């Protein structure tokens, strides 16, 4: 009887181990975000360490954007609703790359236009221009820079899947957003 019990325990342990995923094998990215302190649309201080054990989605936007930021934000709002329907959990962070213009009040109004749920979605500002450009360029290996002589910025149009400080995956955030794949990947991390 003892042998059978030990065999059953060993099999259960192996099954349990096989169900955990290897992040490096499943996801295409393996970057780490640098520390950053910011202020959200409600005037609250937010640090990257606040996301230590969380699954979250990151995007880069600015509210005066005349091309991709509104569609990207609308896609994230759709994803936020789909995750609720699927009973899957993730938080959302939209980093403004125009901190001089995008005050908490401006970001609040912008998020409200898309029905963003403040409980799980932070629109961030409160850092300086060099800080956010460096953060985007170094942590995400994503472009971020002000276009000279313009009010527009170059920035990534990707949706980044995060677990804690680890960057796991990026998806198209503008034209062909793979909602089902993103939700599937989020569920794998829970």
In this predicted structure, what is the pLDDT of residue 23? 66
Global pTM reads 0.86
Name the residue range of residue 89's domain: 23-188
Give the tens place of pLDDT for each residue, 136-157: 999 999 988 888 888 889 999 9
Give the tens place of pLDDT for each residue, 68-127: 999 999 999 999 999 999 999 999 999 999 999 999 999 999 999 999 999 999 999 999
- pLDDT exceeds cutoff 70 at 14: no
110 within domain boundaries: yes
In this predicted structure, what is the pLDDT of residue 149? 86
In this predicted structure, what is the pLDDT of residue 24? 64
User: The CATH number of the domain where 34 resides is what?
Assistant: 3.40.30.10
Confidence label for 30 from pLDDT (cuts 50, 70 and 90): confident
123 within domain boundaries: yes
132 within domain boundaries: yes
10 within domain boundaries: no
In this predicted structure, what is the pLDDT of residue 150? 87
14 within domain boundaries: no
6 within domain boundaries: no
C-alpha torsion angle, residues 15, 19, 22, 23 (rounded to 10): -170
16 within domain boundaries: no
- C-alpha pair distances (Å), 30 with each of 24, 43, 134, 169, 183: 7, 31, 18, 8, 19
Q: What is the tally of structural domains in the chain?
A: 1
Confidence label for 13 from pLDDT (cuts 50, 70 and 90): very low
């Amino acid at each position: 009887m003892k042998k059978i019990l030990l065999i059953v325990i060993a099999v259960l342990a192996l099954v349990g181990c096989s169900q955990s995923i290897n992040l490096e094998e499943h996801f295409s990215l393996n970057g780490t975000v640098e520390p950053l302190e910011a202020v959200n649309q409600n005037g609250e201080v937010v640090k990257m360490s606040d996301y230590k054990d969380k699954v979250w989605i990151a995007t880069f936007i600015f509210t005066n954007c005349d091309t991709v930021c509104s569609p990207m934000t609308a896609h994230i709002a759709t994803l936020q609703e789909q995750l609720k329907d699927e009973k899957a959990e993730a938080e959302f962070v939209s980093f403004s790359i125009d901190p001089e213009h995008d005050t908490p009040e401006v970001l609040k109004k912008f998020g409200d236009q898309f029905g963003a749920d403040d409980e799980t979605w932070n629109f961030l500002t409160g850092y300086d221009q060099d800080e956010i450009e460096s953060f985007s360029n170094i942590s995400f290996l994503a472009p971020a820079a002000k276009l000279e002589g313009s009010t527009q910025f170059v920035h990534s149009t990707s949706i980044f899947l995060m677990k804690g400080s680890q960057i796991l995956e990026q998806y198209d955030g503008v034209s062909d957003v793979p909602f089902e794949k993103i939700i599937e990947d989020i569920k794998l991390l829970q």
